[in-house]
Amino acid sequence: MKKVIVKCKLKNRDEFEKKLTEIDMDFMPMYWQHERVYIPRNYQKKSSFPRLILRTEMKAVDRPAKYELELRRHIEDTGIDIVDTSIIRDYSEVANIILQLGFELQNELSSRRQDLVLGKGTKMFLDKVDGIAGYYVKVEAELGEDEKAEDVRNEILATLADLGQDISTVVLDTYSEQM
């Protein structure tokens, strides 16, 4: 699936959430997420190489954890991310397979996340990543067949600006690269 992703550092989380509440929108309850980010051994930043993300997600203490493997590839010249996600059953086995395929661990991230569905194929996330100061808002929009990435990105930026977000705070680096 092709996605356009825009991430901004929030100057004031409470103000941002207040703006959302004023238009009858609210984030879902907070949940915990842990990610191990793997990169190919010959990885170079801005090279469109794939990353593998092994994710554990806990939405409630009385429910079992969900494990996913995500392949994410950012295509620099288009600004599009190619994302494929699979549910996995055996976390340890998949971690070993990833290492045997020639990937190495780049970073481990723990975060608290809330999400909000904005429309079909579009979600907004409010993230607090351990080890990185502040809160981030991240919008992921699936790209339709006839949609242009730049048009979708501009629409996301306009939405964030309407919510009072300073779009000069757009962050291009992944959370893993920021650490």
Question: Would you give the end-to-end CA distance of the chain in angstroms?
Answer: 27
Number of domains making up the chain: 1
- Phi and psi dihedrals of 178, rounded to 5? -75, -25
166 pLDDT band, cuts 50/70/90, is: confident
What span, in angstroms and rounded, lies between the C-alpha atoms of 140 and 117? 10
Per-residue pLDDT tens over the stretch 45-86 = 777 788 999 999 999 989 999 999 999 998 877 778 899 999
What span, in angstroms and rounded, lies between the C-alpha atoms of 4 and 122? 9
Per-residue pLDDT tens over the stretch 93-131 = 999 999 999 999 999 999 999 999 988 899 999 999 999
Task: Please count the other Cβ atoms lying within 10 Å of the Cβ belonging to residue 54.
Answer: 21
Greater confidence (43 vs 33) lies with 33
Whether residue 5 contacts residue 125, with contact meaning beta carbons closer than 8 Å, is answered with no
Instruction: Provide the CATH number for the domain around residue 21.
Output: 2.40.320.10
SS3 70: strand
36 pLDDT band, cuts 50/70/90, is: very high
Structure confidence at residue 179 (pLDDT): 80
Identify the domain containing residue 103 by its residue range.
2-178
Average pLDDT over residues 12-36: 93
